[in-house]
Homo-oligomer: A and B are copies of this chain.
Amino acid sequence: MAYELYYWPDIQGRGEFVRLALEEAAAEYIDVARQPARQGGGMAAMMTLLEEGASGRVSFAPPFLKDGDFLIGQTANILLYLGSKLGLAPRDEAGRLWAHQLQLTVADLVVEVHDTHHPISVNLYYDDQKKEAKKRAREFIDSRLPKFLGYFEQVHAANPRRGDFMVGSKLSYVDLSIFQVIEGLRYAFPRAMQKQEPDYPRLVELHDRVQERPNIAAYLASERRLPFSEEGIFRHYPELER
């Protein structure tokens, strides 16, 4: 049975980390909110499940994944589950927890990226918190961005199975997520990334290798890959870069 992914239909957002894993593994899946309502899809289908849950289990927010009787929310948790199913995570417990730890750190970075354009409230427009956004974005670019990318670069360098991956000697969902992070950061902060990227050669190489994987390349060229936009997490507001 096909996996059912529930996420906002018009943005990459957090759902994209899940889409990349499903696409790399060539898993059969339905991106439910992007299907026509007459086929049981659309926003209404997502909102119903979001509000009612299943077997008493309700998610706080999309994305969530339905796999038969399983209904799983929280991006990193979905990847923890799919990682085993799709062969995109180490099989041993220590490795599985390590990959998950890195994904949770990606999630922390994603929150901070989001807050560069919404430092005060998700309920206010960007224009209503632009002044604060400029301050937060400056701090992010100068301090947090190098801290996170420096950390991931260090992790890659310290992988004892020296090679091409963040974890162990095989591709994992962490590699796909690092690709997405680099893509998103380049979109949101092109000037900062142009300046900082030379400090993280391993991540840039990893990004390029992921991009060239046949299933990922096919996905990126397809209509299934939504464009970045000023509705998502990674937004390009030129005034947020100095």
Contact = CB atoms under 8 A, between A and B. Distances in A.
Contacts of A57: 98, 101, 155, 158
State the oligomeric state as a number of copies: 2
A115 B73 CA distance: 23
A81 interface: yes
A209 to B, nearest CB: 20
A1 interface: no
A136 interface: yes
Interface in A47-78: 53, 55-60, 69-70, 72-74, 76-77
A159 B58 CA distance: 10
Contacts of A104: 74, 76-77, 104
Contacts of A136: 119-121
Contacts of A132: 119-120, 132, 135
Interface of A: 53, 55-60, 69-70, 72-74, 76-77, 80-81, 94, 97-98, 100-101, 104-105, 108, 111, 115, 119-124, 132, 135-136, 139, 143-144, 148, 151, 154-155, 158-160
12 contacts: A57-B98, A57-B155, A57-B158, A58-B151, A58-B158, A76-B104, A80-B100, A104-B104, A121-B143, A123-B139, A123-B143, A132-B132
